[in-house]
Structure 1
């Protein structure tokens, strides 16, 4: 069984994805609300609620095989502040890596490391932030590579995320885990460009990971939408008309097409600020009817919360996505305990990592790397 540390743990979605083949030695998050949910679902025995910058290597028990870190994305996101790794939130990568460096000096650094973030981390500050991350990883003695995996292959949510997988350079990498060029399904051009920006000494530590995709997703958005949701109510007729009034002719035509269909149609709506054609800005409601939800976000404002529209027999109803529906879009089971307050539950989901994506990454790459690590350790003993 592999042992791991889980940093920026949130509600423990990485833990849910890694599964029973891994055992958590230590989990950390700064947010007491998320930590409370983590404790509800996984127990608090190995959980420390603290700013990562206040942690010391002495806080980390034993020797882990894996360190998982889904560090904050807000400053690296295309919709964020643009502060990048200099930002207060995404900049928490640095104290996290300082812990890895300290563990390395003590001879107990995890041989496998996974960093998870938005794909904007590849292009932030013209790629300088990604280069800085890669330089830290390689100079600490790891080989590494990156994958961009869209959760839409696993759940009905469009959610591309960056996964950087690193392994101690002293361990061999099985040939079946690598290839000579990035896969088309992992955002080839973006990854290739990020790679070409790396200094030669860092690029020399690069690995093109091979990750086969699952045969096909068998869940649609309509499968997870509740007729009688908890924690949310259906909007009034007047409010639904207000949403429709924010739509462009193209989006209104999508609604009309759904009304003409003979089957029940479910769409998802985000409010966005768009140019008004007169040099100003206007708020628009944009809808999709492809049975896939837009990427969940943290509910910083009303525009960040996803609205669903149900069109049936010519009638239109709208409401916010419910917390349980949001959790299902993250691949969490229905027995997963969510916070009682709407915003807390939605924030937990929108800030997490999709469980089946973690499971797939573990099955296809991490468990094979773990087998190499454990075999080498046994031979050394």
Structure 2
């Protein structure tokens, strides 16, 4: 069976890529114009804009809803920045934090068989767990879905330490198991380009700044600063801020040359995108887009298990105590 699915907060289509073998995308939505460029170059369609302006009834019928909804209101870095600026975060964030409820209104209207939501792992612990408690309550009690969640690290499939929460829900109370992910996987050296333009090498000024910044914080006992990558291991998490200085993932180039940033193609590989994935935008835009995207191989495995759960349609077994209680009541 082929499934119709929608791609909300689509970014550059990382989640869509994982579901393409199982059906057809009938609707996509993304507000960032540069991300739309990349999406259109690869999928031959331009996503709709701001989801808040999309009426739920106008969304095509679909079996599966996909959404990597904005994580800044819940991420550690996002919360810290907003707090320092005296701004609200989480559901109190008036622009991004409430976008979850746009997902909820579409689920309520269209009643898909299943959904997959992706976010930063801090979503589960944000505001002492209250934020996620609200999300679970909406999905389970108000919308009636059977919900599973798990924090998965992508480093067993791509050479990057990337922990994200994946929330899976089903209209029917079916069994679902998350895929097993190896603890260790490919090495960074496997995805690096052989020849790299010198424009990716840090300038003497920037390299001196990063070294002094790290030294200053080291004296204070903080771990802030750049990270030189190990070719035989995995990198730190690629983030949307990578375009600023590349400090979280710097590639060593020997003692006589400053380290360099990853190239956009290497960032694509770090996230598990296929080699033929087109990058039509500037390096700055590409860094933001891949930093905001998903580790595609992780989603591919989740997608496979979701389809298996839907087609198998095995009901959740009730605990023996609960079954005994029902028999007594009868």
**What's the TM-score once normalised by structure 1's chain length?**
0.72
**Contact 2:4-2:26 at 8 Å conserved across structures:** yes
2:265 maps to 1:344:
no
Compute the displacement of 1:95 (Å). Answer: 1.7
Deviations 1:233-272 (CA, angstroms, capped at 9, x unpaired): 3234565455444444xxxxxxxxxxxxxxxxxxxxxxxx
CA distance in 1, matches of 2:247, 2:206: 15
Give the whole-Å Cα distance in 1 for the aligned partners of 2:238 and 2:41.
Answer: 23
Unpaired segments of 5 or more residues in structure 2? Answer: 83-88, 314-330
Equivalent-residue separation in structure 2 for 1:113 and 1:145 (angstroms): 10
Aligned-CA RMSD value: 2.7
Partner-residue secondary structure (3-state), 1:24: strand
Question: Partner of 2:143 in structure 1?
Answer: 140
Q: Count the aligned residue pairs.
A: 302
User: Can you list the C-alpha shifts for 1:170-228, whole angstroms capped at 9, x where unaligned?
Assistant: x3524xx3xxxxxxxxxxxxxxxxxxxxxxxxxxxxxxx443225862x2111212243
Cα offset for 1:58? 2.9
8 Å CA contact 2:236, 2:249 repeated in 1: no
Check conservation: 1:306, 1:320, Cα contact below 8 A.
no
Paired residues of 2:152 and 2:164 also in contact (CA < 8 A): yes
- Residue matched to 2:56: 57
Listed as ranges, the matches of 1:326-345 within 5 Å are 326-345=267-286
Residues in 1 aligned to 2:124 and 2:198: alpha-carbon distance in whole angstroms: 37
Which moves more between the two structures, 119-128 or 296-305?
Answer: 296-305
Does 2:200 correspond to 1:233?
Answer: yes
Partner SS state of residue 62, structure 2: coil
For residue 299 of structure 1, the aligned residue among 241, 252, 257 is: 241
Shift of 1:144: 0.4
* Counterpart for residue 38 of structure 1: 39
Task: Sort the Cα spacing of 1:159 and 1:216 in 2 relative to 1 into closer, same or farther, 3 A.
Answer: closer
Compute the TM-score of the two structures, normalised by the length of structure 2.
0.82
Superposed CA deviations along residues 307-340 of structure 1, whole A, max 9, x for unmatched, are: 423254x545311221111111111122111133
Structure-1 residue corresponding to 2:4: 3
Q: CA deviation at 1:21?
A: 1.8
2: CA distance, partners of 1:72 / 1:232: 31
Unaligned runs of 5+ in 1: 104-108, 178-208, 249-272, 374-381
- Residues 7 and 29 of structure 2 are in contact (CA less than 8 Å); yes or no, is this contact kept in structure 1? yes
Q: 8 Å contact 2:5–2:23 — kept in the other structure?
A: yes
Partner residue, 2:316: none
Deviation by residue 1:260-300 (Cα, 9 ceiling, x = unmatched): xxxxxxxxxxxxx847439xx89633445362111111128
Equivalent residue in structure 1 for 2:306, among 360, 366, 376: 366
Residue-by-residue CA offset, 1:39-78 (whole Å, 9 max, x unaligned): 110011xx442211111123212x3111011000001001
1:99 correspondence with 2:106 = yes
Does the 8 Å CA contact 1:221/1:291 hold for their aligned counterparts? Answer: yes
On the 8 A contact 1:232/1:320 being kept in 2, the answer is no
Map 1:1-381 → 2, pairs under 5 A: 1-44=2-45, 47-61=46-60, 63-81=61-79, 83-87=89-93, 88-103=95-110, 109-138=111-140, 139-168=142-171, 171-174=172-175, 177=176, 209-214=177-182, 217=185, 219-229=186-196, 232-236=199-203, 239-248=206-215, 274=217, 276-277=219-220, 284-289=225-230, 291-299=233-241, 302=244, 306-312=248-254, 314-363=255-304, 365-372=305-312
SS at match of 1:308: coil
**SS of residue in 1 equivalent to 2:109:** helix
Contact between 2:202 and 2:259, CA under 8 Å: does it hold in 1? yes
CA contact (8 A) 2:56 2:105 kept: no
Higher strand share: 1
Is the Cα–Cα contact under 8 Å of residues 330 and 349 in structure 1 kept in the other structure? yes
